[in-house]
Structures are given as structure tokens and as C-alpha cells.
Amino acid sequence: MKINQKTVQNIAHLARLELSEQEEVKMVDDLSKILNWMDQLKELDTTDVVPLTHMSEEVNVFRDDVGVNALSREKGLKNAPSQDGEYFRVPKVIE
């Protein structure tokens, strides 16, 4: 695909970009380089290549998701400004 200044102007209009004359010339050059690179990639034989799901082979190490009560109810409510023995007490905000 051939990129010219008219194509860049149409793309800039669709993207709501305001480009100067020099920026349009640079954009023509940059987009042409990108499309040429894509054409080079199309020439490669990728029939036996497995598609990537991630760009690196690093593996995250996750811990087991196990619920643990780190605080007892008494310790959790100990410093509460207002509590009723089982729950925090807060001012009513919804009528």
C-alpha cells in the first residue's frame, strides 16, 4: 500500500489530529516504513510457528488464595471509636 500526503491528511482528520506540513511529510515517511516492515514480515514462512500468548516466557508465581483470619474480632474492634461488641458503628448516611 502506498502512503501519500492525502492519505495522511485523511487519517489525521479521522483521528482528529492537526498536523503541520512538516509533520505530514514525516508521517508519510514513518507510515511507509511501518508498511514496508509489515511487507517484510509477510514474506516469512510462519506455518510451523506457534502463536504467542505472551511476549515473554516469564511465569508469575501466585500464592494459594486461602482466607485467613489474621485478627480476632476483639482485636479488630479494640481501637474502634464506636462499636457494639460485634460490628463497627458508623453514622447513618442513607435515610
CA dist., res. 80 & res. 17, Å (int)? 55
Q: In the block, which residue shows the cell 442513607? A: 94
The string of pLDDT tens digits covering residues 1-11 is 789 999 999 99
CB 18 within 8 A of CB 12: yes
CATH of the domain at 32: 1.10.20
**Do the domain assignments include residue 15?**
yes
**Do the domain assignments include residue 33?**
yes
**Do the domain assignments include residue 28?**
yes
Q: How many domains does the chain have?
A: 1
**Do the domain assignments include residue 91?**
no
Length reported for the chain: 95
Q: What is the pTM of this model?
A: 0.50
Residue 37 is part of which domain span? 5-42
The string of pLDDT tens digits covering residues 52-65 is 887 888 888 888 88
**Do the domain assignments include residue 30?**
yes
